[in-house]
Amino acid sequence: MNEFATIGELARGLRQGDYSSVELIRHYLARIDANSTLNTFITVAEDEALNAAASADQAFERGEAGPLTGIPLAHKDIFCTQGIATTCGSRILENWIAPYDATVVDRLAHAGAVLLGKTNMDEFAMGSSNENSYFGAALNPWDSSRVPGGSSGGSAAAVAAGLTPVATGTDTGGSIRQPAAFCGVAGIKPTYGRVSRYGMAAFASSLDQAGVFGHDAQDLAVVLSIMSGFDPRDSTSSDRADSWLTGVSESGLKPNDEGLTIGLPSEYFKDLNEGATLLQAAAKEFENAGCRLTQISLPHTDAAIPAYYIIAGAEASTNLARYDGVHFGYRCENPKSLEDLYQRSRSEGFGIEVKRRILTGTYALSVGYFDAYYLKAQKLRRLIQQDFLSAFEEVDLILAPTTPGVAFHTGDLTDDPVAMYQQDIFTIPASLAGLPALSLPCGFTGGLPIGMQLIGPHFSERRLLETSALYQQNTDWHQRHPEVA
């Protein structure tokens, strides 16, 4: 069995009876176990997975199998799963079990997918290296002395290491795209509103968006097609029903041959060292495939990081108020008073980065600072959105680096939060604008993968994925895999 098979290949294997779903799941569970030092999973749901696989096999027998029946996947541990722990990478939810399934979890389960377990992540999705996980960082399968990126580092590393063919993630400022780039896999953050946020523990509600990791564009499209769509439980979910998306698992993704105009934003390339030549080669690849390249400018790019850390912090400071030791989750020992219960439960339950963001966010919303910080950040956010809208009057897609460089070493940036925040400089602008964006592997530097980012107009996932399919048709970076156990 190909350890790095796509779900298309696995579905064929299941259909043809090359293996049963139970056999397939046992295979992946064994791989997870063999690679446990990568620490990609917080919880492995072995019993539940084998039960679900047995049901999938019965569905095949009854001839009722759908596109994902019997296909293994993993969920970032931020999606609520009924009966299986949901920790958000935090001590404060260490033993918390959700009484309900997130919409994403529910839809994928209904499509027959088998949940292997819950993947490691930076606490409450706050981080770019996975080092903020209470359960210890996941490691990069290409070099275990390096970080897999964050916050969805566990999902990216698990897909890269062949421990699951696909995995979900969430992206608030780059938490899917950056780890995808660091781990050499594909990862898409859809348009804000494309996928329901119901059941996804909130970090920054106006930015959080669920997405998926996989090896190729087709896998991303198939999983996305099932995750997407209006959810009456999420007022911010879009009620668009794109027929290509709902039909993509049958029809397959067609490599884009429209001769698109692709914009290269000068602000993203000006200081780029590592990977610059690989990005240029990727651009050339598109040109060779009939696309037109053009330089563009996104003048407010520099404002993105400060605006983002104000807005995301502000929202996080209130989203995380519910973790107070009263109703659920971690509670300190022997509280002396209500105040003491709040203070110690939260002080002991949250990690340092979460506290830092709660404090900055609280500050930004306080009387006397609200206008100077929160309102100003919202103005900057609109300017950044406007940059993109203007650019998309000229170009169909934007090609940019995903990260400033390759995966850094564990511990390199932990003492310098601002340098850590700079890691997200190329992914945050699209998040602030609510745009769909994905990262694809586009080469290697010193044996480490480099990612390129494609950013499209709102709800242009089809164009993004078909353009990715075009690239992957002509290149084989996505078929390079790390050596793992």
Partner 1 sequence: MQWEPVIGLEVHVQLATKSKIFSGASPAFGGAPNAQACPVDLGLPGVLPVLNAEAVRMAVMFGLAINATIYPYSIFDRKNYFYPDLPKGYQISQFDHPIVGPGTLTIQMENGDTHIIRITRAHLEEDAGKSLHTAYAGMTGIDLNRTGTPLLEVVSEPDLRSPAQAVAYFKQLHALVRYLKICDGNLAEGSMRCDANVSVRPLGATELGERSEIKNINSFRFVEKAIQFEIERQIDILESGGKVKRDTRLYDSERNETRSMRSKELSDDYRYFPDPDLLPVRLTLEFIAAVKASLPELPQARKARFTTELKLSDYDAAWLTNDPAVADYFEAVLATAHDAKLTANWIMGDASAALHRDDLEWTDCPVPATELGQLIARINDNTISSKLAKTVFEALWTKEGTVDEIIDARGLRQLSDSGALRGIIEKIMMDNPDQVAQYRAGKDRVLGFFVGQVMKATQGKANPGQVNELLLDSLKREKGSEE
Contacts to partner 1 by CB under 8 A:
79-80, 86, 88, 93, 96, 98-100, 102, 197-202, 204-206, 232-236, 314-315, 317-318, 320-322, 324, 326-328, 338, 342, 362, 365-367, 370, 374
In whole angstroms, the minimum distance from the beta carbon of 200 to partner 1 comes to 5
Quote the CA–CA distance of 39 and 289 in Å, as a whole number.
40
Residue with tokens 């511990």: 411
In whole angstroms, how close is the CB of 448 to partner 1 at the nearest point? 34
Nearer Cβ to partner 1 (32/320): 320
Say whether 90 is catalytic: no
Q: Which is nearer to partner 1, 57 or 122 (CB)?
A: 122
The residues that bridge with 43 in the sheet, in sequence order, are 118
* Angle made by CA atoms 270, 174, 231, in degrees to the nearest 5: 140
Considering 20, 76, 129, 431, which one is annotated as catalytic? 76
Q: What residues form DSSP beta bridges with 441?
A: 451
User: Residues 151, 155, 196, 345: which is the catalytic one?
Assistant: 151
Q: Closest Cα partner for 226 from 63, 104, 99, 92?
A: 104
Indicate if 175 belongs to the active site: yes
Which C-beta is closer to partner 1: that of 367 or that of 418?
367
Q: Which one of 90, 133, 152, 175 is the catalytic residue?
A: 175
DSSP string computed for 230-251: --TT-TTS-----HHHHHHHHH
Judge whether 76 counts as a catalytic residue: yes
Give the DSSP H or E segment for 380. Answer: helix 376-394
Closest CB to partner 1 among 51 and 206?
206
Residue 235 CB, shortest distance to partner 1, in Å, is: 5
Considering the complex, what minimum distance in angstroms separates the CB of residue 90 from partner 1? 10
The Cα 193–Cα 177 span in angstroms is 18
> Which residue's CB is nearer to partner 1, number 6 or number 133?
133
Nearest CA to 460 out of 168, 103, 200, 192 is that of 192
Kindly state the smallest distance separating residue 65's Cβ from partner 1, in Å: 29
Tell me how crowded residue 405 is: count the other CB atoms within 10 A of its CB.
16
**Smallest distance from partner 1 to CB 183, Å:** 26
Residue placing its CB nearer to partner 1 in the complex, 57 or 171: 171
CB 8 within 8 A of CB 222: yes
At residue 328, φ and ψ (nearest 5 deg) are -160, 170
| Host H or E run for residue 47 | helix 46-62
Active-site residues: which are they? 76, 151, 175
